[in-house]
Amino acid sequence: MLAAVRYELVNPADPAAVEWVCGLLRDGRADLYVQDEADLRLLPTITRTWMLRGEQLKLRAPGSPNSKRSVSAATDLGDGDLLWRTDERRCAVQFGLTLTAAAQRSKARGRLAVLLVDNAPSHRVGKTGFMRQVLKFLSGEVILVFLPKYSPDLNPAEQLWRPWRANVTHNHRRATIEELVQDSDAWLQRQTYDRRAVLSMLGYPGACLPTKLAA
């Protein structure tokens, strides 16, 4: 049976709400996910790279328009399990579906899903609207912990994108956005085979337990 949800939305400045969430994690009644999005653009990001003398790397110019997609990822800080999806654009629907995937995974484990998220417009929950409907649908299963505004350094999920960009978007030579999406999916899929490496990327080397994270 899932623990009772006292707060659906948690402000880190609220000591009582934070202590309650930490108690859930200490007791193993919740999974802690970190979530973030990144843009996947057909226009490659150009960086310094090693090349053989006389064999200069040539990159494609996509022309106009510069096709792009949005990748949303949520990682369980307890065991490094990685969930992701790629959509046409960054929006509330994408975020809602990411929450749903995390909730379903945790519910199957008999736990709540606690997600550490930023204050992106697509994440905001009002009295009405799509995200309010999502939380209503996931009532009793999901808790959102909102980071302070303009503080990406506080979100471990940001660290996933550095190696992702180095392996997918930097100096790529793909001709279509579909090929680039395949590269992104393949790289993220490879990370699922080594969860310790995922945790290391996020700054949590080795296998962690929710009790350690909340201590």
pLDDT at 200: 92
**Residue among 131, 153, 154 at smallest CA distance from 142:** 131
Q: Which of 94, 88, 106, 83 is nearest to 130 (CA)?
A: 94
Preceding peptide of 210 cis, ω within 30°: no
Summarize the confidence of residues 194-212 as an average pLDDT: 72
Contact status, residue 85 vs residue 38, Cβ threshold 8 Å: no
Question: Poorest-confidence range of 13-22, 151-160, 178-187, 199-208?
Answer: 199-208
How does strand 68-76 pair with strand 112-117?
Answer: unpaired
Examine residue 70 and state whether it is found in any structural domain, yes or no. yes
Q: Is there a domain that residue 53 lies in?
A: no
Lowest mean pLDDT among 7-11, 65-69, 165-169, 196-200: 65-69
Q: What is the pLDDT of residue 214?
A: 38
> Which residue segment(s) compose the domain that 15 sits in?
9-41+66-214
**57 is a domain residue:** no
Q: Which helix (H) or strand (E) holds 144?
A: strand 142-146
Strands 142-146 and 112-117: parallel
56 lies in some domain = no
Asked whether residue 11 carries a pLDDT value surpassing 60, the answer given is: yes
For 58-109, how does the pLDDT look when each residue is reduced to its tens digit (9 = 90+)?
656 665 566 899 999 999 999 999 999 999 999 999 999 999 999 999 999 9
**What's the number of domains the chain is made of?**
1
CATH assignment of the domain containing 99: 3.30.420.10
